[in-house]
Amino acid sequence: TPGPEPRIAINATNTPGDADSVYRISQSGSYYLAGHATAAPGKRCIEIGASNVTIDLNGFTVIGVGGSIAGIGVDLAHSNLTVRNGVVENCPGRGVDLRDVWSSLGHVVENVTVRSCGIGILVGSNAIIRNCISTNNAAEGIIAGNYAVVTECVARENGWIGIAANDGSIVSGCSVGQNASTGILVGTDSTVEGCASKSNLGHGIQGGNGSLVVSCTASANGLTGVYMLSDSTVTGCTVYRNTSDGIAVNSDCDVRNNNCSENGFGAGSGAGIVASGSDIRVEGNHCSDNDWGIRALFAGNIIVRNTCSGNTTANWDFVANNVFGPIVNRSAPGSAAVLGDSATSSLGSTDANANFTY
């Protein structure tokens, strides 16, 4: 037969509250909710006062009220905290707040939905946030410190940034949309992979120096689709109908094999790709139906093996002293129809580094 419940129930007997909490966990261990829990004005609903604590919400909801500080929060900088499996809603302060200072380490938040709070989910460094949903919060949806992993999360219709993660972080498999600022913001030396960022009022994806954006989509954002600082890489992305530029990078970046179309959409003005610095490699990209195709605003870049078509102001716009493969205009190739197993090339160049207008 099953043994006794190995965890501790969160209730007035086991976890009595104090001046700023309805329930307070003061000892390390594993805890669970046995029913919905409601906060109080000026208090956290569940306050964590120790390190090495796991809370299983058991599918129940932590409910905020006017003036409540947080649904689940900490009193000081504690480490190795886990919150999972439930809902936190309507907390005007913060939904799940496990970061007293950035030195709070090792938190895990998983399978949690936070909605209609101040900030949705807030953790320190060395943290993991996975399979979470953060929506309709007044400020950020998800905030994580250095060396964090945010994976398979949704951040939508928040009042500021959808997902923000500090230096050395990984954001993967996430969907963000309709946030009032940037969709995904990462610090230096970070990776954004396999994410979709749509209809945010700021940039779709923004990265610090030395970061990587790979296999993402950024569409219909109010500023640039993908905006990266120096020493970064953007590869394999689809960037579409952003109000400003599709991809904009600073010096020492590598921009390869991206599809950028219809940027500068609506009342905006933008290029498919903008190299806003020097020592940038722009290779193998396709830019179509933007205001500009590819722009190099500074000298000292290399632009090879790209294709541009139908960009309304200019397909190519480089200042002097850049290095580029020949630009071959095949906008009217006049090739015959093809039916069968072979045909003569209509490219007009055999240069392996040629750029093509068509």
Task: Map residue 30 onto helix, strand or coil.
Answer: strand
Q: What is the pLDDT of residues 288-299, one digit of tens each?
A: 999 999 999 999
pLDDT band for position 332 (50/70/90)? confident
Least confident of 154-158, 183-187, 205-209, 344-348: 344-348
Report CA-CA distances (Å) from 341 to 59, 337, 338.
61, 12, 9
pLDDT band for position 104 (50/70/90)? confident
Please, which residues bridge with residue 187 across strands? none
Supply the pTM of this predicted model: 0.96
The predicted structure's pLDDT at residue 221:
98
Average pLDDT over residues 186-209: 98
The answer on pLDDT for 26 being more than 70 is yes
pLDDT band for position 101 (50/70/90)? low
Please report, rounded to a whole number, the percentage of residues in the chain having pLDDT higher than 70. Answer: 97
Read out DSSP for 138-162? SS-SEEE-TT-EEES-EEES-SS-S
pLDDT band for position 3 (50/70/90)? low
pLDDT band for position 339 (50/70/90)? very high
Q: CA-CA distance, 144 to 19, in Å (whole number)? A: 28
Please report, rounded to a whole number, the percentage of residues in the chain having pLDDT higher than 90. Answer: 91
